[in-house]
Amino acid sequence: MDNVFEALNERGFIKQVTNAEQVTRLLAEKQVTYYVGFDPTASSLHVGSLVPIMAMAHLQRAGHKPIAIIGGGTTMIGDPTDKTEMRPMLSKEQISANGKGILAQLQRYLNLDNTLVNAGNSQTPSRVGGFFNNADWLLSINYIEFLRDIGKHFRVNEMIRAEGYKQRLERELGLSFLEFNYQLLQAYDYLYLFREYGCRLQLGGDDQWGNILAGVDLVRRIEAERVHAVTFPLLTTASGAKMGKTAGGAVWLDAERTSPYEFYQYWINVDDRDVSRFLAYFTFLPIDEVRRLGSLEDEAIREAKEVLAYETTRLAHGKAEADKARTASRAAFGGGNLDEAEMPTSVIAAERLNAGIPIMALFHEVGLANSRSEARRLVQQGGAYINEKQCRSIDMVVGTDLLEDNALLLRAGKKRYHRIVLKEN
């Protein structure tokens, strides 16, 4: 097997490791079962989850066996290290529905079976991974047993020294007992997966370091076995923003929430300074190619961005969609003809247009403005276009006289398009 750990490190995936040498050796010697936890609060993952996903994919390609966990059980508690957002309580049904959506997305990157897989031994050659909801084993836990078997291995002194808890204790926020237990449950996950599936490596965001280590310790104490932890650097964009957020909210992997074209555009529009890092993280291009593209400067960097956008879109949505998105993007910004098929389109009844629609209403209706007032501002400030002609009059009424090929092309600002076609009846 290749030296995956080295490869991951070279691509920037590694922030902390329990023991780099041992992990390198472990991954070189035999097939390793490893796991990553995902948050089941939404039915789709967003680009922020792409770091762990790509890391998992690299490992699987190198012959190792992934397990993805959704934290249906742990979500019911709420991770105190993520104190910015209150997590909503989700029903079991909701969580498993979300799990299905997440699984479908993971399967684009990983070979995962949704039933498990070679229970209990990592010796089998199968590389097919597993996908579980930790609620399956956490919900049935008996409190007294848990305290006695698991709880006794945790020293409160140590726990409150951990950064995540420490901050909460020092700040005014306080920490509920419920949250204080989060770490135990996550540690128990690791123990469970070690016992059942021989899992020996857990990966996660760097904010999870403490929680993952708790699991490593627990396995050592109870099973007297050495298992490992690897964390990824927390990704922010060069401008300091959280990865994957745009004006419209998160960039989702689900094509329903974020169209392949928007997805593609997200990557095209990344900050110059992020390009080479992102190529290493989010594509499978050989590292030499990543370096070559990353070294491009000024205008030439657009080539690198195009590769980044194309590759990421291809991974998330497939080649056909990526091709379409690239064509559409080139057309929209390269001066060529716009590809109508790629644009958000709505249908409008012919008689409505005959009667005339106020421009503000039109922009609002198709979603290029969130309200009529916003549409009004857009027009007043010169950001509204119909068929590439700027419209600055808020009194303008759009009628059939503006039709071109029986359609209207609306544009808001530089990048947002919407096409309207007429429906005769």
Partner RNA sequence: GGGGGUAUGCUAGAGCGGUCAAAUAGGGCAGACUGUAAAUCUGUUGGCUAUGCCUACGGUGGUUCGAAUCCAUCUGCCCCCA
Least Cα distance to 112 among 71, 56, 194 occurs for 56
> At its nearest, how many Å lie between RNA and the CB of residue 223?
37
> At its nearest, how many Å lie between RNA and the CB of residue 142?
28
Which residues, 60 to 79, sit near RNA by CB under 7 A? none
Using CB under 7 A, pick the residue from 286, 356, 367, 382 that binds RNA.
Answer: 382
End-to-end CA distance of the chain: 64
Q: Are strands 345-349 and 416-423 parallel, antiparallel or unpaired?
A: parallel
Give the C-alpha separation, 104 to 44, whole Å.
9
Residue 76 vs 394, nearer CB to RNA:
394
Q: Exposed/middle/buried for 149, CB within 10 Å: 0-12, 13-18, 19+?
A: middle
> At its nearest, how many Å lie between RNA and the CB of residue 301?
4
Task: Mark 174-213 with x for binding to RNA (rule: CB under 7 A) and - for no binding.
Answer: x---------------------------------------
Q: Exposed/middle/buried for 221, CB within 10 Å: 0-12, 13-18, 19+?
A: middle
Using CB under 7 A, pick the residue from 377, 387, 403, 407 that binds RNA.
Answer: 377
Using CB under 7 A, pick the residue from 412, 417, 418, 422 that binds RNA.
Answer: 412
Residue 120 vs 413, nearer CB to RNA:
413
* Contact yes or no for 254/101 (Cβ under 8 A): yes
The verdict on 334 binding RNA (CB under 7 A) reads yes
Phi, psi of 125 (to 5 degrees): -75, -15
Residue 370 vs 406, nearer CB to RNA:
370
CB atoms within 10 A of CB 48: 17
Compute how many residues bind RNA; rule: CB under 7 A: 41
Least Cα distance to 52 among 218, 244, 196 occurs for 244
Using CB under 7 A, pick the residue from 37, 52, 244, 383 that binds RNA.
Answer: 383
Residue 47 vs 201, nearer CB to RNA:
47
> At its nearest, how many Å lie between RNA and the CB of residue 188?
26
The verdict on 413 binding RNA (CB under 7 A) reads yes
The verdict on 388 binding RNA (CB under 7 A) reads no
Give the C-alpha separation, 54 to 243, whole Å.
15
Task: Mark 248-287 with x for binding to RNA (rule: CB under 7 A) and - for no binding.
Answer: -----------------x--xxxxx---------------
Residue 92 vs 171, nearer CB to RNA:
171
Residue 141 vs 338, nearer CB to RNA:
338
Residue 133 vs 259, nearer CB to RNA:
259
Which residues, 209 to 248, sit near RNA by CB under 7 A? 239, 246-247
* Contact yes or no for 95/70 (Cβ under 8 A): yes
Stretch that binds RNA, among 104-112, 139-147, 199-207, 329-337 (CB under 7 A): 329-337
- Non-local (6+) Cβ contacts of 137 within 8 A are 73, 189, 192
> At its nearest, how many Å lie between RNA and the CB of residue 423?
24
DSSP per-residue letters across 333-362: HHSS---GGGS-EEEEEHHHHHH-EEHHHH
Least Cα distance to 183 among 84, 77, 90, 99 occurs for 77
The verdict on 173 binding RNA (CB under 7 A) reads yes
Residue 208 vs 329, nearer CB to RNA:
329
Residue 248 vs 399, nearer CB to RNA:
248
Give the C-alpha separation, 252 to 348, whole Å.
28
Using CB under 7 A, pick the residue from 235, 378, 386, 396 that binds RNA.
Answer: 378
Which residues, 346 to 375, sit near RNA by CB under 7 A? 360, 364, 370-374
Least Cα distance to 199 among 74, 66, 17 occurs for 66
Task: Give me the residues paired with residue 132 across strands.
Answer: 69
> At its nearest, how many Å lie between RNA and the CB of residue 382?
4
Q: Which ranges in 36-151 belong to alpha helices (H)?
A: 50-61, 92-109, 135-138, 143-149
Q: Which helix (H) or strand (E) holds 407?
A: strand 407-412
> At its nearest, how many Å lie between RNA and the CB of residue 272?
5
Q: Which chain residues interact with RNA by CB under 7 A?
A: 171-174, 239, 246-247, 265, 268-272, 298-299, 301-302, 305, 329-330, 332-334, 360, 364, 370-374, 376-378, 381-383, 412-416
